[in-house]
Amino acid sequence: METDKRVQFVCFETTLNKEQFIKRWEQYRHSLNSNMDVILHQFEKNGVFSYIAQHRFASGELEFKFTNEGRNSRIVQVPIKTMLAGGYSILEANRLHNANSNESKIFVFLTDPRADLNIYKQLFGKANLNIYQAYYQNCKYAYILEYYTKTRDGAALLEQLKNYDTADVGIYKEYAHIKNPGNEKEKEIYVWPTN
């Protein structure tokens, strides 16, 4: 992760089971000729959202688009609710690679722009924390914190976080990191079909 990049967070709520949602995600992903850099996270514990897509892009670009498609009576409508959390700048990037297979991520969503981030930095070690700050005024959250933790230690950190003023917090496992090594200068519009 580079600090000149932005990160867009898109959250999904669905009653679909994992296989059904992933099939839908894969259909969407393969329907595009894309070079997007997206990590899809799946809910593990206490997550408010079933899935979180984390899209990284260079400053000045915003090419990951989620829209409502027109309804067609011949197409089965899928119960997936999409919530755009918004685009965030990287305030602090301490972990530059994706989670290992024995790790989970805890996402903490803060709504108060005056939140004391030092409290959160001291909880579990600065080296395991990325902090994203709202870049646009219409972002749902003021900050999104991304903790990397050993899967076995996630519940303990989650319990500590419950003592603080968080809007939402949950443990997520990286499902997939999608990055096409194609031309970085290519620009595509990515559309997630929702109801």
The domain locations on the chain are 5-194
Q: Write out the E strands in the chain.
A: 5-14, 37-45, 51-58, 64-68, 80-93, 103-110, 129-134, 143-150, 168-179, 190-194
Nearest to 39 by CA among 117, 122, 95, 115: 95
* Strands 64-68 vs 190-194: parallel, antiparallel or unpaired: parallel
Q: What is the pLDDT of residue 194?
A: 34
Count of CB atoms situated within 10 Å of the CB of 29: 18
Say if residue 62's pLDDT is above 60: no
How confident is the prediction for the chain on average, in pLDDT?
75
Query: 5-194 in CATH: which number?
Result: 3.30.70
Percent of the chain with pLDDT over 90: 17
Query: Could you tell me which residue, 70 or 188, shows the higher pLDDT?
Result: 70
The stretch 100-124 carries a mean pLDDT of: 90
Tokens of 187: 């620009």
- What is the average per-residue pLDDT within 102-122? 91
pLDDT tens digit sequence for 120-160: 998 876 568 999 999 988 899 999 999 998 888 888 888 88
What is the structure's pLDDT at 60? 56
Placement of tokens 């206490």 in the chain: 46
State percent of the chain over pLDDT 70. Answer: 68
Helix/strand number for the chain, H first, E second: 3, 10
Range from 31-40, 114-123, 160-169, 175-184 that averages highest in pLDDT: 114-123
Q: Note the pLDDT of residue 123.
A: 83
C-alpha distances out from residue 68 to 7, 64, 87, 187, Å: 22, 14, 19, 21
154 vs 177, more confident: 154
How much of the chain is in helix, strand and coil states, percent to nearest 5? 20, 45, 40
Both tokens assigned to 34: 């894309």
Return the pLDDT at 193.
38
Q: What is the pLDDT, as a whole number, of residue 90?
A: 92
Instruction: Name 84's Cβ contacts closer than 8 Å, sequence gap at least 6.
Output: 8, 9, 10, 11, 66, 140
This prediction has a pTM of 0.75
Quote the pLDDT of residue 126. Answer: 59
